[in-house]
């Protein structure tokens, strides 16, 4: 079986209002204590699986969960266990299910022994509501995750689809976002517990992956697979920022994910216009709002080391951009959370609900080849004269290179792997050189402003301006190598 659910974090300052709202609905109360198991080297976690024993009232249930086709779907197999005493873990009980077969294969390959690594102690209140023709269970969990002496507080709401269409689930979740300031979380209790056991507060940034495309799929299925890959990156990094991660890589990868999402929606919309997220402009605005924070990080980690290596006198540097705001606050905003829900709803929609499957497979691939060729031609048009272009035109070349790279990655499953990798290698080098060049331009403008009050900053701006001639030549060379790369399509 599988569960279709949306999980949200609750601001502790607003927990009382959530508690009061759910109590008005006469909830069912449960005390849930769970023990989670994995091999010492975390083989199950690496496979996206979680195995637990949980006491529910006076009974124990052994549960196996695994990642599904997208964020809202999880595969699940529950095995009730007799008796009130804490039972012994029995992985073979899941053998009859598909997810259980995956578990046994992982255990056989790892050769590790299952051990208890972390646990949870949760007070749960649940209500079931009928909404728009669907039966939905709302659960409010309060308690903690524990691993040794370490603790992580739990205060979250889950909306699970029991029966009926998925659209009412999303509608009800939007109401919760608006009423209580909830924010989407893609991290399960099992993942949180594993991090706690390792002494981590936040996981690694979620990087881009190529979509799983099949040659026989129509345009709608292909676009939804592409959007699902983008959504995984956007939602995972947004959840980390909303949880307070200070890691600049989460911010960077969120912006990359939104940019990829924008590229897919613009360049592949012909495949199936009905599948494009309606709230995309809100996420594009988030991308722009977080741009100043990204520039501050580029200054600190990229530009200042250039200056130090060149012997430029030490300078504190330009102040952070005035528009810089806390990324977590931006992501937790109700408008952004509503847009993220809309994105996930698009990904979860099947072809029937999407209205049509768009272009036939052959027509979708013809369009894709034409689009790849057109973008490549636009990029190479300015390759030879890149150093002479005005800044705005240089920036446009960079944006087109990114767009071409994303489109190549989206299409990679449909073409010979080695040919795609050769072309991507040239694209990646060009994107890196163009990025370094633009960071220099951004830093020059920032240091010029600071130089009005600090001669050292003015000197840094002058050095950076001279250095741009060198980075522009490096961009031209990288674009020439891209021009020589054989198109694989």
How many residues does this entry show for the chain? 489
Same domain, 180 and 327: no
pLDDT tens readout for residues 94-142 = 999 989 999 999 999 988 789 999 999 999 999 999 999 999 999 999 9
Q: Tell me what the mean pLDDT of segment 247-264 comes to.
A: 95
- The closest of 467, 462, 459, 463 to 438, measured between CA atoms, is 467
User: Residue 352 — very low, low, confident or very high, per pLDDT cuts 50/70/90?
Assistant: very low
pLDDT higher than 50, residue 296: yes
pLDDT higher than 60, residue 355: no
Residue 350: what pLDDT? 59
Cα gap 408→424, rounded to integer Å:
7
> Which residue is associated with the tokens 């009730």?
80
Domain of residue 136: give its range.
Answer: 2-197
User: Residue 325 — very low, low, confident or very high, per pLDDT cuts 50/70/90?
Assistant: confident
Least confident of 78-92, 165-179, 289-303, 377-391: 289-303
Q: Are 156 and 59 in contact (CB under 8 A)?
A: no
Q: List phi, psi (to 5°) of 95.
A: -60, -25
- Selected residue with higher pLDDT from 352 and 480: 480
- Selected residue with higher pLDDT from 486 and 74: 486
- Is position 211 within any domain? no
Which range in 210-224, 348-362, 400-414, 450-464 is most confidently predicted, on average pLDDT?
400-414
- Is position 52 within any domain? yes
Cα gap 334→137, rounded to integer Å:
22
Q: Are 432 and 482 in contact (CB under 8 A)?
A: no
Q: Tell me what the mean pLDDT of segment 6-12 comes to.
A: 96
Residue 65: what pLDDT? 92
Same domain, 439 and 383: yes
Same domain, 186 and 277: no
- Is position 208 within any domain? no
pLDDT higher than 70, residue 445: yes
Same domain, 326 and 397: yes
- Is position 278 within any domain? yes
How many angstroms from the chain centroid is the CA of residue 432? 22
Q: Provide the CATH number for the domain around residue 452.
A: 1.40.20.10
The angle at the Cα of 295, spanning 292 to 299, to the nearest 5 degrees, equals 140
Q: List phi, psi (to 5°) of 50.
A: -145, 135
User: Residue 367 — very low, low, confident or very high, per pLDDT cuts 50/70/90?
Assistant: very high
| Tokens matching residue 97 | 């299910």
Residue 319: what pLDDT? 55
Same domain, 339 and 428: yes
User: Residue 318 — very low, low, confident or very high, per pLDDT cuts 50/70/90?
Assistant: low
Give the CA radius of gyration of the chain: 25
Same domain, 313 and 397: yes
pTM: 0.88
Q: Provide the CATH number for the domain around residue 38.
A: 2.40.320.10
- Selected residue with higher pLDDT from 452 and 247: 247
Same domain, 62 and 183: yes
Q: Tell me what the mean pLDDT of segment 193-202 comes to.
A: 92
- Is position 213 within any domain? no
Same domain, 234 and 88: no
Which range in 2-11, 51-60, 65-74, 470-479 is most confidently predicted, on average pLDDT?
470-479
Instruction: Dump strand ranges (E) for 82-164.
Output: 115-131, 134-147, 150-163
- Is position 209 within any domain? no
Taking the CB of residue 209, how many other CB atoms lie within 10 A of it?
12
- State the average pLDDT for the chain: 90
Same domain, 234 and 189: no
Same domain, 20 and 88: yes
pLDDT higher than 70, residue 353: no
Same domain, 231 and 266: yes
- Is position 136 within any domain? yes
| Tokens matching residue 76 | 């699940």
- Selected residue with higher pLDDT from 229 and 216: 229
- Is position 57 within any domain? yes
Q: Which of 162, 197, 232 is the last residue of a domain?
A: 197
Least confident of 262-276, 330-344, 371-385: 262-276
User: Residue 458 — very low, low, confident or very high, per pLDDT cuts 50/70/90?
Assistant: confident
Residue 89: what pLDDT? 92
Q: Are 481 and 382 in contact (CB under 8 A)?
A: no
User: What is residue 184's three-state secondary structure?
Assistant: strand
User: Residue 321 — very low, low, confident or very high, per pLDDT cuts 50/70/90?
Assistant: low
Same domain, 294 and 370: yes
Q: How many domains does the chain have?
A: 2
Taking the CB of residue 489, how many other CB atoms lie within 10 A of it?
17
């Amino acid at each position: 079986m599988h569960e279709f659910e949306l999980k949200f974090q609750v601001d502790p300052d607003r927990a009382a209002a959530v508690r009061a709202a759910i109590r008005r609905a006469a909830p069912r109360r449960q005390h849930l204590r769970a023990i989670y198991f994995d091999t010492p080297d975390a083989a199950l976690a690496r496979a996206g699986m979680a195995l637990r024993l949980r006491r529910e009232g006076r009974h124990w249930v052994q549960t196996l969960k695994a990642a599904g086709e997208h964020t809202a779907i999880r595969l699940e197999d529950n095995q009730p266990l007799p008796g009130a005493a804490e039972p012994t873990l029995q992985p073979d009980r899941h053998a009859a299910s598909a997810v259980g077969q995956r578990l046994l294969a992982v255990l056989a390959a790892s050769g590790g022994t299952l051990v208890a690594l972390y646990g949870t102690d949760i007070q749960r209140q649940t209500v079931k509501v009928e909404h728009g023709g669907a039966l939905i269970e709302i659960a409010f969990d309060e308690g903690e995750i524990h691993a040794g002496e370490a603790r992580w507080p739990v205060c979250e709401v889950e909306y699970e689809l029991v029966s009926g269409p998925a659209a009412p689930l999303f509608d009800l979740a939007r109401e919760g976002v608006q009423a209580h300031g909830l924010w989407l979380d893609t991290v399960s209790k099992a993942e949180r517990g594993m991090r706690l056991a390792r002494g981590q507060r936040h996981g690694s940034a979620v990087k881009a992956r190529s979509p799983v495309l099949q040659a026989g799929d129509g345009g709608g299925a292909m676009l939804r697979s592409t959007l699902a890959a983008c959504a995984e990156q956007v939602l995972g990094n947004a959840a980390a920022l909303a949880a307070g991660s200070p890691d600049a890589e989460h911010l960077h990868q969120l912006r990359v994910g939104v940019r990829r999402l924008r590229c897919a929606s613009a360049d592949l919309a012909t495949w199936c216009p009905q599948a494009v997220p309606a709230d995309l402009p809100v996420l594009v605005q988030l991308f722009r709002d977080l741009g100043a924070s990204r520039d501050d990080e580029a200054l600190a980690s990229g530009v200042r080391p250039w200056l130090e290596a060149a012997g430029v006198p030490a300078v504190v540097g330009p102040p952070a951009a005035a528009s810089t705001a806390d990324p977590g606050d931006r992501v937790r905003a109700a408008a952004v959370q509503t847009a993220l829900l809309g994105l996930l709803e698009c990904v979860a929609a099947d072809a029937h609900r999407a209205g049509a499957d768009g272009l036939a497979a052959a027509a979708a691939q013809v369009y894709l080849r034409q689009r790849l060729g057109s973008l490549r031609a636009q990029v190479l048009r300015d390759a030879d004269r890149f150093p002479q272009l005005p800044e705005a035109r240089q920036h446009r070349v960079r944006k087109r290179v990114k767009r071409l790279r994303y489109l190549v990655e989206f299409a990679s499953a449909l073409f010979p792997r080695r040919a795609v990798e050769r072309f991507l290698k040239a694209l990646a080098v060009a994107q890196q050189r163009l990025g370094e060049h633009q960071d220099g331009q951004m830093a020059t403008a920032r240091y010029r402003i600071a130089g009005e009050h600090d001669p050292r900053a003015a000197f840094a701006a002058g050095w950076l301006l001279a250095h741009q001639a060198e980075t522009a030549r490096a961009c031209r060379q990288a674009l020439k190598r891209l021009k020589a790369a054989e198109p694989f399509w």
